[in-house]
Structure formats: C-alpha cells, structure tokens
Amino acid sequence: MTLVELQSLAKRLGMPGFAAKQIASWLYDKKVTSIDEMTNLSLKHRELLMQNYEVGAEAPVDEMRSVDGTVKYLYPVGGNHFVESVYIPDDERATLCVSSQVGCKMNCKFCMTGKQGYTANLTAQQIINQIHSLPERDKLTNVVMMGMGEPLDNLDEVLKALDILTASYGYAWSPKRITVSTVGLRKGLQRFIEESDCHLAVSLHSPVPPQRAELMPAEKAFSMTEMVELLKNYDFSKQRRLSFEYIVFKGLNDSQIYARELLKLLRGLDCRINLIRFHAIPGVNLEGADMDTMTRFRDYLTSHGLFTTIRSSRGEDIFAACGMLSTAKQEKRLPAISVIRLPILTRPEKIGYGLPVRLMATGATTSIIRGVFKTSLPALTFIHSVSVMVRDLTNMQEQADYGMEK
C-alpha cells in the first residue's frame, strides 16, 4: 500500500492519522514479519489490524541458476499463473528485472512472453513482491521493469509500485536506480514521463515504420515518429536517461542503411542506443547478427555522435528468455521449491479474473525459510535462448554512467 492507502486504512479502522506512517515504517524500513512486532501501535490497534490483515510475502516457487551468477525466479500470482524475475549480479552491482503483467498484449514477434497472450495485470503488491521476496534483496542496486508484460499497459499499478520504491515513507530509493522499458504506448508514455523521474528505455528495433510494425504491432497504434516527437518535448540531458533498445537481426536491420536511418530518426534527442543480441525462440524465423556486424553497426553510430553500446548476454545456460520458464511451468508442471511462506499485511480480495489481490504490504519484506533446492528440472528445448529481459539488464550494469545513486 502507498502512504495514502495506509492513511485510508488507519482512518477506516479508527486509528490515529499518524499510525499510517508508523505502519509504513514497520513494513518498509524495519521489515517486520508480524503485526505483533509493531510495538508503537497500541495492543488494541494491533489486534484490530490482525483481524483484517496479515504480514507476509509470496516466495518464489522455482529458480534456475546460471554458472555466471544469474538467477531466474518464478513467482505464483494465482491459479496456474506465474511471472518471472531475473537477478543479475555483476561485481558491486546487482540488478533485478521485474515483471508487470501475466503474459502480454503487445505480441512482439521476437518475444516469448507475447506468445503466451495476455492474462492479467499484476497489482503493485505483486510487482513489489518480486523485490521483497528476493533472497538477494539486500544486495540489489538497481531495478528494471523489463520482464513479462508492458509496464505502460498497467501504468496505475506500476506507478504505485514506483512510488513505494522511491518515496521517503517506502524504500527511499533514488529514481535513478530504476528503469522502465516500454514499446511506447500513446496513452501511457506522456503520463509516465510527467509522473515519474525513473529512467526510460524504449524498444525500437527498426527505424523503418513498416518493418517495425511487423516486428512490433504496437507501431500501428503509436508510430515511432510520433513517439520521438513527443520525447523531444522533455529534457533527458541531465540525470534522467533515455535509451533505445535495438535487437540486431541478421539480414533484417543490421546494415549501414539502418544505422543511417536511426541517426535521422533520433536527431535532436539526448539519448543512447543499446544493441542487443538475439537468440532464437520457438516458432520464430529470426536470426541474430554476428558480433562483427554488431561491432561495425555500433562503431558507425558512435562515430556519428550517437552513443551506442552492445549488451553482453547473461544466463545463457538457463531459461533466460523472457516468459520461457513460466511457459514451461504451466505446460510441463516443473517441480517447485519447498518453501515456508510468511504472511504480508494484506486482505485477500478478488479482481476481474478471479485471482486474490493483496492490498498491502508491498513493502513488507520477510524472512523466507527455504528448503534446500534439490529438484532436477527436466531438460527442455531452447534452453540456450536468451531473452531481451536478461540482455537488457547486463549492459545497464556495465555502463559507468548507469551507476547506482547512493
């Protein structure tokens, strides 16, 4: 819950107004595991809270660990539905890729999540829970919303989660530690820029409108040229960064002609390009360009004044492709880790598709008593597929000016 929601809760239960900040402190700062620990609340009010709420978190039910330290976690979100997050450590930095939806409506040709179709929006609690139930939570330096789903298609809940992460009553993170990635939606882009100070990453992948529309159907609703014109109205020359993601496909968008078109399209914008290697996913007839081609592409853009990097891949020996582990979980019924879940300050409710919603404690991190994970995951096809999600994380860590704000 945000502070406003906690204030409403306190009022509804007849608690004093200042109780909301006290609860927020216990949940987001002290990270208690039970309401009984909220000792500056009266016994009466603690008992009242316990009648309606609980403190807890939804632990991951599966994980896959790479030899390079990358870990993919699978979180249940009701029914037989799951979302993924990916933890990527890199020297003194550690980034978590967070999901915002179950499935996705965007149906990008190169994305495994889009093949699942759309099931539901995550609540702010379910978004935050991926951070708070992360075993490595205390090591995190950055969060990127580049997992399953389109964040701007679930903007209300995403903004609520960002508020909890960045507000003084919540986790008090600098917005500069958080990046939101989007295909670019007309209804959400301007609102996100104006209501959040977090970094913005836009999935571009082609400077040619018909080709981009084939790769990304969202182009038909809000063209990249319209999007660029909108972005030119905002200042990205200071600490807030604007980047464009560009998967380099062999024989499709990898020639100097496309590099020149990128320069034309982005002229006048203070931004950078992140080149991403593509790794095959099932049923998609696309192939990634080789490193020599990507290097020439990068060097051409850089030599013409557009800062460009090539992202390194991580987690290639696990189900790194965005949506692959959750798809496998649903289709193959992969064995789950044995866990003991501790409650979150929540009140189960129902939303449209019938899944329970936790109203609170997106901030309540709890200790999770985990069983020793000894299950053997079945061999599955495409285990070497690497997703935009994992690739999109790594280079953010590698860029010096993408540093963590203390």
Catalytic residues: 84, 322
Side by side, which strands form the sheet with 71-76? 62-65, 71-76, 82-90, 93-97, 142-145, 178-182, 199-203, 242-248, 272-277, 308-310
Angle ∠(49,347,178) on CA atoms, nearest 5: 105
| Integer angstrom CA distances of residue 333 from 62, 80, 81, 116, 368 | 11, 9, 11, 16, 23
Task: Compute CA 371 distance to the chain's CA centroid, rounded to the nearest angstrom.
Answer: 26
CA contacts within 13 A on the Cβ side of 202: 31
Cite the beta strand spans of 92-166 per DSSP E: 93-97, 101-103, 118-121, 142-145
d(CA 118, CA 97): 19
Q: Which tokens hold the place of 213?
A: 């529309």
**In b/e form, how buried is each residue of 273-312, taking b as 16+ CB within 10 angstroms?**
bbbbbbbbbeeeebebbeeebbeebbebbeeeebebbbbe
Q: What is the DSSP secondary structure assignment for residue 288, as one 8-state letter?
A: B
In the chain, DSSP finds a helix count (H) and a strand count (E) of 13, 18
d(CA 376, CA 380): 12
Q: Which of 286, 1, 311, 4 is nearest to 144 (CA)?
A: 311
Q: Which of 111, 61, 99 is nearest to 334 (CA)?
A: 61
Beta-carbon contacts of residue 190 (< 8 Å; ≥ 6 apart): 230
As to burial, measured by CB atoms within 10 angstroms (0-12 exposed, 13-18 middle, 19+ buried), residue 331 is exposed
**Contact between residue 367 and residue 58 where contact means Cβ atoms under 8 Å apart:** no
